[in-house]
Amino acid sequence: MARTVSIAACNFAVRPVASFDEFADHVRGLLDGAQGADLVLFPELFTVELFTTFADWQNTPATELTLIDKYTGDYKSLFESEAKERSQFIVAGSHLMEVDGRYLNIGHVYGPEGLVFEHVKTHIFPAESNWHTEEGESVDAFDLPFARVGLNICYEAEIPECSTTLVEQGAEIILCPSYTFTEYGFWRVRHCAQARAIENQVYFVHCCTGGQPGGTLPNGWAQSSILSPCDVPWTPSGIVAQADANKEMVVRGEVDLDKLYENRENGAAPTFRDRRRRRDLYVSWPSHLEGAQATR
């Protein structure tokens, strides 16, 4: 019997809201569109929508985005209850929150029994330094009832080692909440996401924050997608499903995990095997890098 996983990725458009309850209704509307999926994803820092609940938010500098930590408890309670009531596993995107005096960009995964996993973004995009965000220290795969998965938050998709270490730990699906402010940034992450799927022969879900909320908040460029290796079991493009660009919607697709293992054995491009078969060649990279830095 094939091991299949039904995935729904929410192409989220940030908009001004008056309260946390209005934000929660926005979330629930998208969850309604994801009914029946095994796994539902929200994007990176989609909780910036909560910034619009503060007085004079249009004139408050985006460097004060850490104000949304005020809603951390409400955010966690919302997704804990929704995952339980809907009997679904929900990647609650990521949220900017204070932990032991440090502001961290943390991805959360909830299931019917509560919090399943947290991942602190390990590679902070330079623009995030404006929000005083610090980096996490681990990249770990974890098990859901239907698949072994791992998180790469946005810029982490552009760092190949972040995906490779998850696949080395057995990850079959890489889940990527993302928030890019320009079309340039979107395509950097999207092209890298497709490359990670090809080079590791895994599924990769790129889930995006979009919208043009106004004020000092950055716009988002969004076209969420579910991606596969580019080989015969799938489409030539490697796109299992994708949203319309910059349109709020839920994109859905089903992936067959067994096809990954078959493709690693019999595919036209056995990258998973060959990258590991020649790994003795790659150990020279650190020494070459140090030499290059020393000559600058």
**If residue 261 lies in a helix (H) or strand (E), which one and from where to where?**
helix 257-266
| Count of all residues that appear for the chain in the document | 296
Q: Which helix (H) or strand (E) holds 22?
A: helix 20-33
Residue in 220, 229, 233 with CA at minimum distance from that of residue 259: 233
Q: What share of the chain is helix, strand, coil (3-state, %, to 5)?
A: 40, 30, 30
44 given a catalytic annotation = yes
Task: Give the type of residue at 149.
Answer: V
201-221 CB burial, b ≥16 within 10 A, e <16 = bbbbbbbbbbbebeeebbbbb
Catalytic position from the list 49, 80, 82, 121: 121
- Nearest alpha-carbon partner for 42 in 177, 154, 151: 177
Structure tokens at 83: 């995952």
Q: Which residues of 174-199 are buried (b: 16+ CB within 10 A; e: fewer)?
A: bbbbbbbeeeebbebbbebbbbbbbb
Q: Which of 10, 49, 154, 162 is catalytic?
A: 154
Question: Rounded CA gap, 159 and 124, in Å?
Answer: 11
The C-alpha angle with vertex 37 and arms to 254 and 247, in degrees rounded to 5, equals: 85
Among 44, 80, 156, 172, the one annotated catalytic: 44
The per-residue DSSP string of 42-67 comes to: E-TTGGGGGGGGSTTGGGS-GGGGGG
State yes or no: is 121 an active-site residue: yes
Closest C-alpha among 212, 230, 234 to residue 221: 212
Tokens of 153: 């938050």
* Residue positions annotated with a catalytic role: 44, 121, 154
